[in-house]
C-alpha cells in the first residue's frame, strides 16, 4: 500500500489537524516509511512463538490489600477551608 496526497488529506481531516501544502510531501514520505516497517514486521516468522502478555518475564510483587489510613479524619479536615459533620464543604456548582 502506498500513501498519496488524498490519503494524507483524509487522515488530516479525520485527525482534525491542519496540514500545510509544503508539509504534505514530508508526511507522504514518513507514512510510506512507517508502512514499509510494518511490511518488514509481517515478514518475521512467528509461527512457533507463544504470545506475550508483557515484555517482562518477571512476576509482579503483589502486596497484601490491607486498606488503612495513617491519618485521622480530624487531621485531614484540619487543612480544609470549611468542613461540616466530618466532610469537606465545597461551593455549589450549577451550570
d(CA 56, CA 89): 46
Range of the domain at 28: 5-42
Within-domain flag for 26: yes
Within-domain flag for 90: no
Within-domain flag for 25: yes
Within-domain flag for 48: no
Within-domain flag for 71: no
Question: What are the grid coordinates assigned to 77, written together?
Answer: 479536615
pLDDT tens profile 43-76: 999 899 888 877 777 777 888 888 888 898 889 9
Within-domain flag for 29: yes
d(CA 81, CA 89): 8
Within-domain flag for 60: no
Within-domain flag for 10: yes
| Reported confidence tier of residue 1, pLDDT bands at 50, 70, 90 | low
User: What pTM value is reported for the model?
Assistant: 0.49
The total number of structural domains that make up the chain: 1
Amino acid at each position: 500500500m502506498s500513501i498519496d496526497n488524498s490519503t494524507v488529506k483524509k487522515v488530516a481531516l479525520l485527525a482534525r489537524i491542519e496540514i500545510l501544502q509544503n508539509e504534505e510531501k514530508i508526511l507522504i514520505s514518513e507514512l510510506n516509511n512507517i508502512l514499509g516497517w510494518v511490511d518488514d514486521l509481517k515478514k518475521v516468522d512467528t509461527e512457533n512463538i507463544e504470545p506475550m502478555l508483557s515484555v517482562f518475564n518477571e512476576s509482579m510483587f503483589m502486596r497484601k490489600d490491607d486498606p488503612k489510613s495513617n491519618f485521622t479524619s480530624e487531621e485531614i479536615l484540619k487543612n480544609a477551608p470549611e468542613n461540616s459533620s466530618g466532610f469537606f464543604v465545597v461551593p455549589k456548582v450549577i451550570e
